[in-house]
Amino acid sequence: MLKTTALHSRHQALGAKLVDFGGWEMPIHYGSQLEEHYAVRSGCGMFDVAHMAAVDLHGARAREFLRTLVANDVAKLKTPGKALYTCMLNEQGGVIDDLIIYGMISGREDWFRLVVNAGTTDKDLAWIRPAAAKFGVEVKHRSDLGIIAVQGPKVREIVGKHIPAAIRDAALGLKAFQSVYSDPWFVATTGYTGEDGFEFIVPHAELINLWDKLAADGVRPAGLGARDTLRLEAGMNLYGQDMDESVTPLECGLTWTVGWEPADRVFTGRKALEAIKAAPPRKQLGLVLEGRGVLRSHMPLRFANGATGETTSGSFAPSMKNSVALARVQGHAQGACEVEIRGQWLPCRVVQPPFVRNGKVLV
């Protein structure tokens, strides 16, 4: 049986098309994926992402533990509520999961909130718990909490009145990759669409109440379909498509998430990454299809110098009225690129993602 979020009845009432997404019954759209996409780019939309998991770490050595667990360095989290994007790696440097870590610095203890992908939650917890036990760190899977993401250029003028007064000004003043917490409300700005926005991590009853209030204010529900085209336009990876345990951060455009300094910090996978750091065997590129057609995942690619590769994520990009893709190719790939679509080789333009950010086409 598929799992459902606290908002499942709301999706049913809206006539959403529900699909199996990593063992969860989730809305792919509420009638028009395109309209939901445009609503986020031009106004404000909201996503049920309560299938994703919040995991809290407590203990005097929690920071020390995380510096060994993930590739980025949580020593960077020096101010309360600061967030860090990182990858959790296996010994071969492959990505077990990509996640957000929030440093919740307080007078009593420093604790950390992780938000991990829905499809990898069980695997992540099985990896984290035995490693955390060696540091005396308590791992709490916060299944009592759910997440709504509200995104778009008009988000701040709409959501303010729905944030508790005690943290309203602080929340509205947040910049990217920050958060504010007042139990039980947690508000963050680590979006997945390339637009301004907030993530609300709250108990399930509050989640339903907030969804209803936002809907009454005209915020458009958006499904996983629009979320996927928005994140692709923003050049953001999707776990399981653009990376997995066989792919290192150096091969999927996430070299910037590896904290190489200090050189003596030992984290799982570091040795494997250092062995390929100078010349990774594969790299990630952005592609724009020249002409008509639609790029999808797993389409073969070839380059003028004989190198090959394949698309990992691809779709029609509504904001560009064109088709775009992320691709993983051989490290020496250079020159003109072509993609095979239905037996024909068509030209692609190689670009540096993101394709669209804050409503502007960048390539």
CATH number at residue 353: 2.40.30.110
Please say whether the beta carbons of 81 and 23 come within 8 A: no
- Examine residue 298 and state whether it is found in any structural domain, yes or no: yes
Is residue 315 a part of any domain in this protein? yes
- Flag whether 330 is in a domain: yes
Q: Using omega within 30 degrees of 0 as the cis cutoff, is the peptide bond preceding 164 cis?
A: no
Q: What are the tokens at 73? A: 């360095």
Is the pTM for the entire model greater than 0.95? yes
Classify 176 as helix, strand or coil. coil
Q: Would you say 285 and 327 are in contact if contact means Cβ atoms under 8 Å apart?
A: yes
Q: How many CB atoms lie within 10 A of CB 91?
A: 10
282: which 2 tokens? 């594969």
Predicted pLDDT at 105? 76
**Structural domain contains residue 208:** no
**Structural domain of 317:** 281-361
Per the DSSP assignment, residues forming a β-bridge with 112 are: 57, 103
Rounded distance, CA 176 to CA 198, Å?
Answer: 9
Residue 174 lies in a domain: no
Per-residue pLDDT, 109: 75
Helix 224-233 × helix 33-42 angle, to 10°: 50
pLDDT, one tens digit for every residue, the chain (363 residues): 999 999 999 999 999 999 999 899 999 999 999 999 999 999 999 999 999 999 999 999 999 999 999 999 999 999 999 999 999 999 999 999 999 999 997 766 789 999 999 999 999 999 999 999 999 999 999 999 999 999 999 999 999 999 999 999 999 999 999 999 999 999 999 999 999 999 999 999 999 999 999 999 999 999 999 999 999 999 999 999 999 999 999 999 999 999 999 999 999 999 999 999 999 999 999 999 998 999 999 999 999 999 999 999 999 999 999 999 999 999 999 999 999 999 999 999 999 999 999 999 999
Please check whether residue 36 lies inside any domain of the structure.
Answer: no
Which residues have CB under 8 Å from 319's CB, separation 6+?
Answer: 37, 41, 233, 355, 356, 359, 361
In this prediction, residue 107 carries a pLDDT of 62
The answer to whether 39 and 82 have CB atoms below 8 angstroms apart is: no
CA–CA distance, 216 with 181 (Å, rounded to integer): 25
| Contact status, residue 325 vs residue 295, Cβ threshold 8 Å | yes
Identify the pLDDT of residue 108.
67
Tokens 């540096």 sit at which residue?
352
Domain assignment present for 324: yes
Number of domains in the chain: 1
